[in-house]
Amino acid sequence: MFGRLKQDRLWRLYIGYFFDAVSSNALALLLAFSLVGRGVDPALVGAIVAILPLAYMAALLCTARLVTRFGGRAVLCAALLVGVFATLGFALVESLGAWVFFGALAGFASGVRYIIAESLVPVFAPPEARGRAMATFQSVVGAAMFASSGLLMASQISPQLPFVLAAVLLGLALLALSPLDTPAATAAGGVRGRWQLLGQVGPLVLIAAFLSGLFEAGTGTVLPLYGLATGLSATLAAALVTVIGLGSFCQYPFGLLADRFPLPRIMLGTALVTVVGSLLLPLAASVPPLLWGLSFLWGSLGGGLYTLASIQLGGEFRGPQLVSASAMAQFAYTVGNMLGPALGGVALNLSPDFGVAATFAGIGLIGLAGMLVLTRRQQAAVALVVG
C-alpha cells in the first residue's frame, strides 16, 4: 500500500502513538477512580479531572507556534517527556495541589502530541494513499481507546501501578517516535497563501469536525440511556458503548473512498447518512436490532467525518500550517464533543421518544446544508478560475 521507507515511518508512527494514546485515554478515568478511592468530594473530583481537557484545548492554540520556533521533532519529544514526568507525579505525590499541576501538564502535552502526530501522517504517506494512511491512524486512535481499559484493571493490584504503567507506555512512545524526522513545510504559496486557502476549505472542514465530535460523544452518552428507556437491560445498554466504539474503529473504508473520489462528496454523503440514521432512531423502540445497527453506524460515520476532515487538511497543508489547520479542526471536534452529551441529555428529558432523533437530525441537517453551500461555492470558484 505504501512505499518501503514511508511505510516504515508510518508504522513507527502508528505504533508509537498507539502507546501514547493508550496512556492518554486512560488518564482521566485513572484520576477519577483514584480520587474517589481517596474519599475526595465528587465536585472536586470533577473539577480536577476537567483540567485535562481544558489544558488539551489550550495546547491546540499553542502547538503551531511551538513547532515553528523549536521544530516538530523537538516539541514532540519534549511533550512526551513532560507526559512521563506528569504521569509519574500522580504515582509519587499525593498532594491534590500537585495533581492539579500534573493534570495541566499532562493535558497540555497530550494535545501537543496528538496534533503533531496527526500532522505527520500526510507527510509520511504517498499522495495516492493519503486517505488510507490517515484512516489507519484514526483507527489506531480508536483501538487505543479500547486498550486503555487494561490500565484501569491494574488499579486492583496497586493504586500507583496504573500511573507507572501509563508512564512506561509514554516512554515506549518516546523510543518509537523520537527517531522520526519532521520535515519543514514544503508546500508552495507561503504563509499568507496557505491561510487564504484555509479560509476557503476551512469552514467545510470545521463543520465536518464539529459534527464528528457532536455525534461521537452525544450518541456515546445518550444511546445507552435511550436503550434503557426503550426496555434494554443495564448490561445491554452499556454494551451499546462498545458497539459505538467498534464503529469508530472502522475508519479504513473512508480512507479508501477518499483516495478514489472527491472528498467534499464523501463528506456530504457521510453527513447525509448520519442524519438519516438519526431520523430512524424512533423506530428502534419497536425494532431492537435497529438500535444496535444505528450505534455501529453512528460510531463509524461520526468518526468518519473527522477522518475525512483530516484527510482534506493533509492534502492542502504542510509544516506549521498543517499543524495550525489540524489544531483548528481538533478544536471544532472538541467543542462538538462537549456539546453532544449536554444537548442529547436535554433532548432525552424533554421527549424520550423523539427528542434525541429531532435534536441530532436537526443539527445534522443544518451542518449538511452549510457543507452543501460551501461545496457549491468552491465548485463555482474553481469553474470561474478554469473558465
Residue that wins the pLDDT comparison between 167 and 154: 167
| pLDDT on residue 193 | 46
| pLDDT on residue 172 | 97
| pLDDT on residue 175 | 95
| pLDDT on residue 113 | 96
Cα(46)–Cα(356) distance, rounded to whole angstroms? 26
Q: What are the start-end ranges of the H helices in the chain?
A: 4-37, 42-70, 72-92, 96-124, 130-147, 149-153, 161-177, 190-229, 234-249, 252-258, 263-280, 288-316, 319-350, 355-386
Longest Cα pair distance anywhere in the chain, in angstroms? 70
Q: How many CA atoms lie within 13 A of 173 on its CB side?
A: 29
Q: How many other C-beta atoms can be found within 10 angstroms of the C-beta atom of residue 239?
A: 16
| pLDDT on residue 325 | 84
Structure confidence by residue, pLDDT tens digits, 300-354? 998 899 999 999 888 887 777 788 888 888 889 988 888 888 888 888 888 877 8
Mean pLDDT of 85-114: 95
| pLDDT on residue 199 | 59
Query: At residue 99, does pLDDT exceed 80?
Result: yes
Mean pLDDT of 49-78: 90
| pLDDT on residue 163 | 94
What angle, 0 to 180 degrees and rounded to 10, lies between the N-to-C axes of helices 42-70 and 4-37?
150
Query: At residue 103, does pLDDT exceed 90?
Result: yes
3-class secondary structure, 189 = coil
Q: Over the chain, what is the mean pLDDT?
A: 84
Phi then psi for 170, rounded to 5 degrees? -65, -35
| pLDDT on residue 76 | 95
Of residues 249, 252, 13, the one with CA closest to residue 145 = 249
Q: Are 213 and 333 in contact (CB under 8 A)?
A: yes
| pLDDT on residue 173 | 97
Q: Are 317 and 198 in contact (CB under 8 A)?
A: yes
Which pLDDT band, with edges at 50, 70 and 90, does 82 fall under?
A: very high
Show the domains of the chain with their CATH numbers.
4-177 (1.20.1250.20), 190-386 (1.20.1250.20)
Cα(269)–Cα(305) distance, rounded to whole angstroms? 10
* C-alpha dist (Å) from residue 217 to 13, 140, 210, 241, 360: 26, 18, 11, 10, 12
Residue that wins the pLDDT comparison between 152 and 12: 12
198: which 3 cell numbers? 484555509
Structure confidence by residue, pLDDT tens digits, 234-260? 777 777 777 888 888 889 999 999 999
Structure confidence by residue, pLDDT tens digits, 173-228? 999 999 887 655 433 344 444 455 455 557 888 999 999 988 887 777 777 777 77
Q: How many other C-beta atoms can be found within 10 angstroms of the C-beta atom of residue 32?
A: 16
Q: How many CA atoms lie within 13 A of 205 on its CB side?
A: 25
| pLDDT on residue 197 | 46
| pLDDT on residue 191 | 44
Of residues 150, 173, 154, 174, the one with CA closest to residue 164 = 154
Mean pLDDT of 271-275: 91
Of residues 291, 273, 278, the one with CA closest to residue 225 = 291
Give the CA angle between residues 107, 113, 115 to the nearest 5°: 105
Confidence (pTM): 0.85
